[in-house]
Amino acid sequence: MRSLTLAEARERAELIAVTSYAVELDLDRGDQVFGSVSSITFTCGSPGADSWVDVKARSVEGATLNGVRLDPAGIRDGRLPLPGLAADNHLVVRSTMGYSHDGQGLHRATDPADRRDYVYGHLFLDAAPTVYACFDQPDLKAPYDVTVRAPQDWVVLGNGAASQVAPGRWELATTKPLATYFVTVCAGPYVSVLAEHDGIPLGLHARASLREPLERHAGQLFEVTRQSFDYFHGLFGIRYPFGEYHQVFVPEFNAGAMENPGCVTLRDQYLFRGAATRDELLSRANTVSHEMSHMWFGDLVTMRWWDDLWLNESFAEYMSHRCLVDATEYSDAWVDSSIVRKVWGYGAERSPSTHPVAGVAALDAQSALQNFDGISYAKGAAVLRQLISFVGDDAFLDGVRAYLRDTSHGNGTLADFLGAIERASGRDLGPWSDGWLLTAGRDSVSVELVTGPSGGSAGDPLTGESAAPAVVTSARLLRVPPADHPADRPHALDVAGWRDGVEVVRVTVTVTDDRTPLGDLLGATAPAVLVPNAGDLTWARVRLDDATLDGLPAQLGRVPDAQARAVVWSALIDGVHGAEVSPSTFLDVFAATWTTEANASILARMALYAEHRIVPHFVPRVAQAAALARLADSARELLGRAEEGTTRSLAAARLLAGTSDDETLLRAWAGGSGLPHGLEDDGDFRWIVVRNLAARGLIGASAVDAYRAKDDTLQGGLNALMCRAALPAPAAKAWAWEQLTGRHGRSNYEMVHLARGLWMSPDDALVAGYVDRFFRDVPAMSGWVGEDALSRVVLAAFPKIFTAETGVRSSAALRREDLTPGVRRSLVDADAELREALASRAAFATDFRTPVS
């Protein structure tokens, strides 16, 4: 299907202005299709000119322009021609649309817990025409009147306040001007918890089978919602402009959430069915605050074209973390950002697909989607922190308020935003923008340190007292721009060091040269652990010196600064991916320090990273069992001493459940016996155990189905698919592949879970035959799977056999000319991860000649 180009969007925006939309949706036509009627009023600045409206329907039953019938047979590539426009126009399009199962458009899902259906609209990025006829580009905003016909036992929610005017008929209040991709309708037998804050009606909604976790979590969700409203009202000086505020937890959602004005949609996994770690609650709170900040930045003011999409996401990413730190209990949100969001962003920056934060030419809508990644979010947020360091927080906020005020209910650009900051600060942002926004890549930062004797005692051989530690005699910070993306980026950052748990050095500097003397460190006690960018204030590749790497097993657990520990772990991850740090070193540090880690985000995320990335990707196959055993030993140790029911206990139990080879323990836990406190009725935890049993071949398909019968829910079904695909038998792998790549109407989530399970295998030979089939079969799925969903499937299904032969096939696939943009981008990123694994295994092969013990 043809994608709207920037040139076409500009031409259409110069020609027409949309006055209003009236959309009627009939959701009571069964589970395959729905009715859609769009009535659009718009003006034309050049009467007599031609244009088109976007509509991607199963069928168009009728269309009229100013009372004159249009021929639906003229639709090409989802475009209905509009000939001979008048100065004032009224267009009506009646069509039948199809529900989707890939998370785009109007998605319909059946909850196996009660066999009831749920519908929600996710119209990002260009899916709006699959729901209603529209001028689908972000700068043609207009108010909406929406009416919905639905089964009589359904609840309807949307951007405007919904009222049931007759059995099965709902009317939504007229909205403020919205971009087409923000329009949503959520309908089904949703259950609700309602509240109010500061005159704003609030609602939380979920599937009926999730009533218990919805009600259990409602207090926390409303609390962060209220705190975020108060914070943003004070910060922006503009009240929330979209009436009611509903948050709908929907099934099979492709992203974390979507900022539809007045009706935010969120993945319903955020309603944790069982126990949740503190970092999971923090992540959910961050999502709530992130989407709310979009009500101002993105919704009230929308980018003019997709090339400024980064500005929406970078701003929301920054503001949500700022809000959590300043206004909620999650004062360690920046630590979580360091170990979750920035690790994601650094991965995107390492890939050949890296791109500047801004200024990327999005020549059409689909190409813009390819740059919707960790750079747009995490790097953009880090860049905004550097901007604040450059201009000052007061000037930054003054500029933000002016930008929001001057472009309210309209569209803005990067130039508009930077202009507002320049006027508020009096600073020229041109050179700063060139380095930070318009050039890809990240600088490396390291500290060159020279130490010498302190002049103290050399040590007493009779008493055993050690000599006084050395002192710093010379220190300078090195900044190395990437060779392929050179730029002059100033960095405001700090450098700190510790010895035996005591901070012995810290200095804050603004780096404007490639070599910056750190005179304030001279004479200080030489640190055992020295961390550039210890406060994680900038965006850079942190390179730790050899002495620090050697000292981490003994010293990292004693560093009291959680933010610095997060930076160290991030640097270790970067080093492993860059084949500069051995995965053996990572595992050594993990074994020595993980059980003492106090920060929930570091504790939980490093366990996940060690189990699901470091071991399977970077540790050679012959040493993986021993590496997993080391992780299990750490988990067992922590579980034995952690307080029951805490994040530490839960993180330890999850790691042990996923890595242990203790069949007796696993079978007991799977059967509900001897479980750690708080996990007695936790179905999600049981699936971790069942997955481990299945992947080891200790249970078969019938046992998986029996566990599925105990958890007859959407999540239970997904876990069962992954476990069946993980069974180490040729028939199980063949079944999984056929279910993944065949036309079975599988949802986006089902395909991803099948792909994950398929590559779980005790040896490469069992799945080697699917390497070639991946490059043949998965790209071909673009014929029936949406681009957003398929890009995620490609990443999950990319062969997890890390050999040169896989690399050869991957390179050949990337030379193909028939790949869609989303598939190509995902292949590029997956191929880059393969190359990292191959380089690391080659560089550190000798570390694993004897399996890790």
Examine the domain organization and report whether 625 and 544 are in the same domain: no
pLDDT at residue 724 in the model: 98
Dihedral sign, Cα of residue 36, residue 41, residue 45, residue 47: positive
Note whether residue 77 is domain-resident.
yes
**231-247 burial string, b = 16+ CB within 10 Å, else e?**
bbeebbeeebebbbbbb
> Poorest-confidence range of 181-185, 198-202, 366-370, 396-400?
366-370
Domain boundary (668, 703, 728) is at 668
Examine the domain organization and report whether 345 and 375 are in the same domain: yes
Domain extent, residue 588, equals: 584-668
CATH number for position 242: 2.60.40.1730
Q: What Cα–Cα distance (Å) separates residue 351 from each residue in 311, 354, 464, 619?
A: 21, 6, 52, 21
Domain boundary (516, 550, 581) is at 581
Residue 455 has pLDDT above 80, yes or no: no
- Mean pLDDT, all residues of the chain: 95
Examine the domain organization and report whether 115 and 175 are in the same domain: yes
Residue 361 has pLDDT above 80, yes or no: no
Note whether residue 418 is domain-resident.
yes
CB 3 within 8 A of CB 25: no
Of the chain, the percentage scoring pLDDT greater than 70 comes to 98
Note whether residue 653 is domain-resident.
yes
- Return the H-helix or E-strand segment holding 34: strand 33-44
Measure the CA–CA gap between 610 and 613, rounded to whole angstroms. Answer: 6
Measure the CA–CA gap between 739 and 770, rounded to whole angstroms. Answer: 13
- Residue whose token pair is 């976007």: 54
Examine the domain organization and report whether 68 and 209 are in the same domain: yes
Q: Is residue 80 classed exposed, middle or buried when 0-12, 13-18 and 19+ CB atoms within 10 A define those classes?
A: buried
Nearest to 213 by CA among 263, 265, 249, 254: 249
Examine the domain organization and report whether 560 and 596 are in the same domain: no
Q: What is the mean pLDDT of residues 445-469?
A: 70
Examine the domain organization and report whether 191 and 335 are in the same domain: no
Q: Which two tokens stand for residue 193?
A: 């918890």
CATH number for position 426: 1.10.390.10
pLDDT at residue 368 in the model: 72
Note whether residue 716 is domain-resident.
no
Note whether residue 191 is domain-resident.
yes
Q: What is the pLDDT of residues 641-666, one digit of tens each?
A: 999 999 999 999 999 999 999 999 99
Measure the CA–CA gap between 523 and 472, rounded to whole angstroms. Answer: 5
Q: What is the pLDDT of residues 45-94, one digit of tens each?
A: 999 999 999 999 999 999 999 999 999 999 999 999 999 999 999 999 99
Measure the CA–CA gap between 318 and 36, rounded to whole angstroms. Answer: 38
Note whether residue 458 is domain-resident.
no
Q: What is the mean pLDDT of residues 222-243?
A: 98
Q: What is the pLDDT of residues 308-324, one digit of tens each?
A: 888 899 999 999 999 99
- CB-CB neighbours of 169 under 10 Å: 16
pLDDT at residue 1 in the model: 66
> Helices marked H in 469-543 — which ranges?
none
Q: What is the pLDDT of residues 388-436, one digit of tens each?
A: 999 999 999 999 999 999 999 999 999 999 999 999 999 999 999 999 9
The total number of structural domains that make up the chain? 4
Measure the CA–CA gap between 363 and 307, rounded to whole angstroms. Answer: 8
> Helices marked H in 328-413 — which ranges?
333-336, 342-350, 365-369, 374, 380-391, 393-406
Residue 458 has pLDDT above 70, yes or no: no
Examine the domain organization and report whether 261 and 368 are in the same domain: no
Spot the catalytic one: 280, 291, 597, 787.
291
User: Is 291 in the active site?
Assistant: yes
Q: What is the pLDDT of residues 708-748, one digit of tens each?
A: 999 999 999 999 999 999 999 999 999 999 999 999 989 88
Q: How many CA atoms lie within 13 A of 534 on its CB side?
A: 22
Q: What is the mean pLDDT of residues 275-303?
A: 97
pLDDT at residue 825 in the model: 92
Examine the domain organization and report whether 291 and 327 are in the same domain: no
**285 band by pLDDT with thresholds 50, 70 and 90:** very high
pLDDT at residue 459 in the model: 47
Residue type, 26: D
pLDDT at residue 456 in the model: 53
Q: What is the mean pLDDT of residues 770-780?
A: 96
Note whether residue 788 is domain-resident.
no
Residue 467 has pLDDT above 70, yes or no: no
Domain boundary (314, 348, 371) is at 314
Nearest to 568 by CA among 241, 335, 371, 228: 335
Termini Cα distance of the chain: 54
Examine the domain organization and report whether 296 and 418 are in the same domain: no
Q: Which two tokens stand for residue 266?
A: 């969120």
Measure the CA–CA gap between 796 and 17, rounded to whole angstroms. Answer: 42
**783 band by pLDDT with thresholds 50, 70 and 90:** confident
Examine the domain organization and report whether 177 and 129 are in the same domain: yes
Q: 364: which residues sit within 8 A by CB, 6+ positions away?
A: 3, 4, 5, 6
Examine the domain organization and report whether 589 and 522 are in the same domain: no
Examine the domain organization and report whether 277 and 166 are in the same domain: yes
